[in-house]
Structure 1
Amino acid sequence: MRSNLLLITALALTAFVSGQAEKKQQDREAIKNMCGCFEVTFNFAETFNYSNDSLYKPSKTKVDKGLEWAQLVTDADDKISIQHLLQVGNPSDPHIVKHWRQDWLFENTDFYSYNGDNVWVFEEKPAADVSGQWTQKVYQVDDSPRYEGSATWVHVDGKSFWENTADAPLPRREYTTRSDYNLTVRGNRHEITDFGWVHDQDNAKVIRKPGEEDVVLAREKGYNTYVRVPDSRCAAAAGWWEENQEKWALVRAKWDEVYGRKANLVLEEKVDNKALYKHLFAEGYEEAAAIDGVIESFVKKTR
């Protein structure tokens, strides 16, 4: 009787482990489906505002289109890294713009949460809190931190999606024009579709002050569609990455060292009157020493 019970338990455990491995592989395939060449449409509209200021002006509805190459950079069992590159201008001689990067980490416990005003707060979560989950870490064009969050990929009724809410800096389309809020609470949904994938967002524009409750100034809807097209259309972007990937590997390595300090992170907005991306995109930052030095100059403090 006891041997039968042990056999049943062992079979159940084997089935569970096998199911977990199959689920993780489904997750990995969904994430990697975000790689390739896409015609992208970015749609953003302010939906509600709660300002008491009678002169308040909502952000204008914004619609942009572009061709984007999503390059698979890392394909490890517990980490998938995807670098996005915009391909703009004359198709026969396009200009390549290094765009955002997303890293996906399985059962990650180390988090940097944005807290407004160029401050990221480090938190180490218990392993039980992230069991079976993937963390999406989103980085700016210079590979500095942006936002991150952890959730479970869901595969049901023919759908594959991941949802999370995370605190983030103002988007680039806003921070050069708005100063009436200092933090975006991003509701992110990534869903794989038959045409490519969708980044669906429900965002809150938040005023955050130390020791006070957050104030929601307005809400915003974002709906970005990535329609897959032949990879050949993004050949220029893929070629640019092939030529420049070693430099950006050095940039990522330096940032990994900074993140590895596991301390709150405060970054300067400008050094020598230039943002970090303007330094790194300029000539003279191809070697590790120069890259490490300029990134470190933006690390105001870790504590």
Structure 2
Amino acid sequence: MKKIIFLLSLCICALSVSAQSKFEQDRAAIKSLAGYYKVTFNYAETFAPDTAYKFYPRYHSWGYEWAIVVEDSPKKISIQHLLVVGDSTVIKHWREDWVYEQPTILAFDKDNTWKKVSLKPADVKGRWVQKVYQVDDSPRYESIGTWVHVDGRHEWQSKTDSPLPRREFTKRSDYNVLARGNRIYLTPQGWMYEQDNNKVVRSAGGDKVIAQEKGYEEFTRVDEAKFAYAKKWWAGQQGYWADARAAWDAVYAKNASIKLSGKKDGKLLYEQLFALAERSEKEKWSPDKNKEETIKVINNYVNAS
């Protein structure tokens, strides 16, 4: 009996070490998404159910991005992306939060509306939610998946719905939901974000796919020296945006759904918050004032419940 108990304890310890090892592998893979990159964007429509559908031209673009870990706790890693244009222009770009075993998802519906959805415990265990935010830290999409580490490969996959991509939302009105198939995997040069997307018309009668699309966003590491101005710019801006994240967190925490408005007084939400960030830096606002002014602006654009 003592021998059986001893063997069982060894098995339990082995399982514990294995689980911890997997968790640390997950964290290391997520943190490796940060760094200094040249990013290339390639998208092409590949199939349409309607033979009369006219395929849109392929999309290709590139730029430089600095991805910074702005929060690192055991079960949450937050990475802020900055877009660098030339030697003296920086744009606060998208942000991704990775949260371990989060029990809810803020799911995109349509018409700039997101709804909080509860997940089953079995669907959460051992998995990470990637929460993607727009440039003003408003919601974009959230999805859940498992990091897999096998044969030297490190990858994560998920499916979720989102608004139209930035490359199309000002140009197209023939669909209103992008049903994303996301795959992120590490490469020797950096990492790849591969997509298999459906362009969907969502209505009261259901979903109708008008086209499918393949996408590749390749992040290739480059020399850190390219980002000297970006470092200086972010040093002045990061305090405001940390406070803005806290303001947004309060909005997300207390509301079951969020609907974003378009322009107010001729300006979009990101324009208002970017202006606040500049004022905060120039006038040296306190964290409390940052949050107070940010909440005022957010409340003007967000219809929450």
Fold similarity call, TM over 0.5: yes
Alpha-carbon shift at residue 213 of structure 1 (Å)? 2.2
Determine the structure 1 residue equivalent to 2:91. Answer: 97
Q: TM-score, normalised by structure 2?
A: 0.93
Task: Pick the aligned partner of 1:234 from 220, 227, 235.
Answer: 227
Alpha-carbon shift at residue 51 of structure 1 (Å)? 4.0
Task: Pick the aligned partner of 1:267 from 260, 271, 284.
Answer: 260
Distance 1:154 1:140 in 2: 27
Alignment of 1:126 with 2:120, yes or no, is yes
Determine the structure 2 residue equivalent to 1:44. Answer: 43
> Contact 2:75/2:99 (CA < 8 Å) preserved in 1?
yes
Q: TM-score, normalised by structure 1?
A: 0.93
Q: Which runs of 4+ in 1 moved over 3 A?
A: none
Matched-pair identity in %: 45
Please list, as runs of the form range in 1=range in 2, the aligned pairs for 1:69-108 lying within 5 A after superposition: 69-89=66-86, 91=87, 94-108=88-102
Determine the structure 1 residue equivalent to 2:201. Answer: 207
Distance 1:174 1:134 in 2: 28
CA RMSD of aligned residues (A): 1.4
Distance 1:78 1:275 in 2: 33
Post-superposition Cα deviations, 1:157-185, rounded to whole Å, max 9, x if no partner, equal 11100011110000111110100110000
Determine the structure 2 residue equivalent to 1:254. Answer: 247
Determine the structure 1 residue equivalent to 2:284. Answer: none
Alignment of 1:58 with 2:52, yes or no, is no
Post-superposition Cα deviations, 1:138-165, rounded to whole Å, max 9, x if no partner, equal 0000000001111110111111000111
Determine the structure 1 residue equivalent to 2:300. Answer: 297
Alpha-carbon shift at residue 285 of structure 1 (Å)? 5.6
Determine the structure 2 residue equivalent to 1:11. Answer: 10
Distance 1:235 1:36 in 2: 13
Alignment of 1:220 with 2:220, yes or no, is no
Q: Secondary structure at the match of 1:238?
A: helix
> Size of the alignment, in residue pairs?
295
> Contact 2:82/2:91 (CA < 8 Å) preserved in 1?
yes
> Contact 2:256/2:304 (CA < 8 Å) preserved in 1?
no
Task: Pick the aligned partner of 1:110 from 94, 99, 104.
Answer: 104
Alpha-carbon shift at residue 232 of structure 1 (Å)? 2.3
Distance 1:27 1:145 in 2: 24
Alignment of 1:171 with 2:180, yes or no, is no
Worse overlay, 127-136 or 173-182? 127-136
> Contact 2:194/2:217 (CA < 8 Å) preserved in 1?
yes
Post-superposition Cα deviations, 1:182-233, rounded to whole Å, max 9, x if no partner, equal 00001111110101000001111000012x2210011111101111112222
* Unaligned residue ranges in structure 2 (runs of 5+): 281-289
> Contact 2:182/2:196 (CA < 8 Å) preserved in 1?
yes
